[in-house]
Amino acid sequence: MIYPIVLAGATDADIANSADMTPLHFEEAAGVDSRFQTLLSALTVAEFHTPTVLTSSAFAEVTERQMAALNIPGRLLLEPGATKSAAGTVAALHSLGGSADTLVLILPADQDFDYEGQLQEAVAKGVRAAQQGDVVMLGVQTDRACRSRGYIECARSLAADEATPVSKFLDQRSPAFDGWREQPAAKLWSTGIYLARLDTLLAAYKKRAARILMPSKTAVTRGRLTERGLTLDAESYRRARGSSFESAILSQHDRLSVVELDTGWDEAAAWQVEPEVASDAEWNAWLKGSVSGEADWCKTLPHSRRVSADRPAGTACHSSRESDAATLAIWYADQLLEGGTCGPNQTTAESTAESWGRSEILERGAHYIVKNLTVIPGQSLPLPAATLGTHWRVVEGSAMISSQERVQMVWRDQSLTSGGEIQQIDNIGIRPLQLIEVAPARSIRMAKRRVLSGVA
């Protein structure tokens, strides 16, 4: 059986404002579970023991209430102030009272999953490595563009059914973190979910973080047991450093392995990636102000979510009136991913090196132009003054799309069509952003792009 430790602590700011608001993982709405509750639901299976929840005394009531709403039992371990993930984790380990070979699963309360059983599947792949003495990390693809809780470089290609050895782990606070721009075949972000034996973790604390180990152990021993749980002794806990678990233990540990967990990030799911189905009246309003000759062209199919028939292999590429922007972009993106070429310019493609990356014209039509754009990390794609009807498809990487009213994320294999409002596209990932751009032909205005500054 695996013993879960859920990290649901709070910052000083959270505690100061506890009368008016709660930390993000406790936020809830009518009919919608909080992230904390979603995580607890994933632990209600036979493989997992009753969870130990580390949280702040200031939020003990909301923690109890949300657990009771799901009828999920658990043990509360209450920090006297702001969270200290390294100190809190080792305090939770001492409070378990398990045997040396007990398997422990450490999870942040804000984690999310794509489907029921996904956590079980990932953990099952890492059990063997954890039993053999590794700290097994659950990681996600780097093109999620979220630094999360550290950066993992694998020693070899990822294994499908077991944990893969880790050659290097960088905590996000490491000075070397921002210098990592090249993208090897197997790099992942850490999700903050870790599986290991109890004795493996305690030995790591003793060797790497003794100044955290002893005060935290004493805080448990001198803690006050109440109806709500065990409140850690404030004076003892105060002496424990406020380091993260990643910086105190993982960044120095020499036996790490990883299992890939392609989780559902709420931050990504919340963005509207493609326009929803629109009525003719809404379309006419959306197209108002378009340049003459562009309005008919940019009434493209993504907005009605219709899919054109697949092209038989070996047929000619496209005609401007038979293809819509989305189908055109997807077709070219698939070609690039498969290493193929297509289009009248396939042998004489116009490729230009830019300060922000590279631009390659793949096809010119009477009413459209198709480009393969590569934006290097930390740079912005210069946009023309008008983007009405332009369609982008992300082939690799992750993009942040900015307009006057909103910012949204677009990931690999996702698309969006501009209503003319998009002002900037940034590569916020750590590897090149590759886009297929299908835009209405605007003659000279398509060639003259306005250069934007890079982003950090």
Whether the pLDDT of residue 296 is over 60: the answer is no
Dihedral sign (CA 162, 165, 171, 175): negative
C-alpha span between 153 and 390 (Å, rounded): 36
The least confident of 78-87, 228-237, 311-320 is 311-320
Task: List Cβ neighbours of 38 (8 Å cut-off, separation of 6 or more).
Answer: 112, 113
Query: Which residues in 87-114 are b (16+ Cβ under 10 Å) and which e?
Result: bbbbbbbbbbebeeebbbbbbbbbbbbe
* Segment 85-135, tens digit of pLDDT: 999 999 999 998 878 899 999 999 988 887 888 899 999 999 999 999 999
Confidence of residue 268 (pLDDT cuts 50, 70, 90): very low
User: What residue type is assigned to position 397 of the chain?
Assistant: G
The least confident of 75-79, 181-185, 306-310, 381-385 is 306-310
C-alpha span between 169 and 177 (Å, rounded): 10
Dihedral sign (CA 265, 266, 267, 271): positive
In this predicted structure, what is the pLDDT of residue 200?
A: 95
C-alpha span between 163 and 137 (Å, rounded): 9
Q: Where are the domains of the chain?
A: 2-269, 280-447
C-alpha span between 129 and 107 (Å, rounded): 18
Residues 238-249: what's their mean pLDDT?
90
Fold for 280-447, please state it.
Jelly Rolls (2.60.120)
C-alpha span between 12 and 354 (Å, rounded): 45
More confident residue, 309 or 422: 422
In this predicted structure, what is the pLDDT of residue 293?
A: 34
In this predicted structure, what is the pLDDT of residue 171?
A: 72
Q: Residues 388, 393, 398, CA angle at the centre, nearest 5°? A: 110
Residues 162-171: what's their mean pLDDT?
87
Whether the pLDDT of residue 48 is over 90: the answer is yes
Residue with tokens 């989780």: 263
pTM: 0.61
In this predicted structure, what is the pLDDT of residue 418?
A: 76
C-alpha span between 382 and 102 (Å, rounded): 55
Confidence of residue 302 (pLDDT cuts 50, 70, 90): very low
Residue among 431, 399, 434, 433 at smallest CA distance from 418: 399
Mean pLDDT of the chain: 76
* Segment 315-345, tens digit of pLDDT: 333 333 334 777 777 888 877 776 654 544 4
Residues 308-320: what's their mean pLDDT?
36
Whether the pLDDT of residue 141 is over 90: the answer is no
CA 348 to chain CA centroid, Å, is 38
**Ramachandran bin of 397, using left for φ above 0, alpha for ψ from -120 to 50, beta for the remaining angles:** left
Whether the pLDDT of residue 230 is over 60: the answer is yes
Question: Under a CB-based contact definition with an 8 Å cutoff, are residues 22 and 60 in contact?
Answer: no
Question: Under a CB-based contact definition with an 8 Å cutoff, are residues 343 and 370 in contact?
Answer: yes
Helix orientation angle between 210-221 and 85-96, rounded to the nearest 10 degrees: 50
| Residue 451 burial (C-beta neighbours within 10 Å; 0-12, 13-18, 19+) | exposed
Whether the pLDDT of residue 64 is over 90: the answer is yes
Residue 154 burial (CB count, 10 A): 22
Whether the pLDDT of residue 438 is over 90: the answer is no
Helix orientation angle between 118-131 and 35-42, rounded to the nearest 10 degrees: 60
Long-range contacts of residues 274-278, Cβ cutoff 8 Å, at least 24 apart: 274/302, 274/305, 274/414, 274/415, 274/416, 274/417, 275/302, 275/303, 275/416, 275/417, 275/419, 277/303, 277/304, 277/305, 278/303, 278/304
5 DSSP β-pair partners:
52, 106
The secondary structure of 159-215, three-state, reads: CCCCCEEEEEEECCCCCCHHHCCCCCCCEEEEEEEEEEEHHHHHHHHHHHCHHHHHH
Residues 386-415: what's their mean pLDDT?
79
Q: What would the two tokens of residue 363 be? A: 């096809």
Question: Under a CB-based contact definition with an 8 Å cutoff, are residues 238 and 132 in contact?
Answer: no
The number of residues making up the chain comes to 456
* Segment 336-380, tens digit of pLDDT: 776 654 544 444 457 888 889 999 998 887 777 889 999 988 888
Per DSSP, the residues of 23-79 read: -GGG--BTTB--HHHHHHHHT-STTBPPPEEEEEGGGHHHHHHHHHHTT---EEEEE
CA 342 to chain CA centroid, Å, is 33
Whether the pLDDT of residue 452 is over 80: the answer is no
C-alpha span between 428 and 197 (Å, rounded): 36
Q: In the chain, what percentage of residues exceed pLDDT 90?
A: 33
Whether the pLDDT of residue 184 is over 50: the answer is no
**One fold for both 2-269 and 280-447?**
no
The helix (run of H) or strand (run of E) holding residue 305 is none
Question: Under a CB-based contact definition with an 8 Å cutoff, are residues 56 and 81 in contact?
Answer: yes
Fold for 2-269, please state it.
Spore Coat Polysaccharide Biosynthesis Protein SpsA; Chain A (3.90.550)
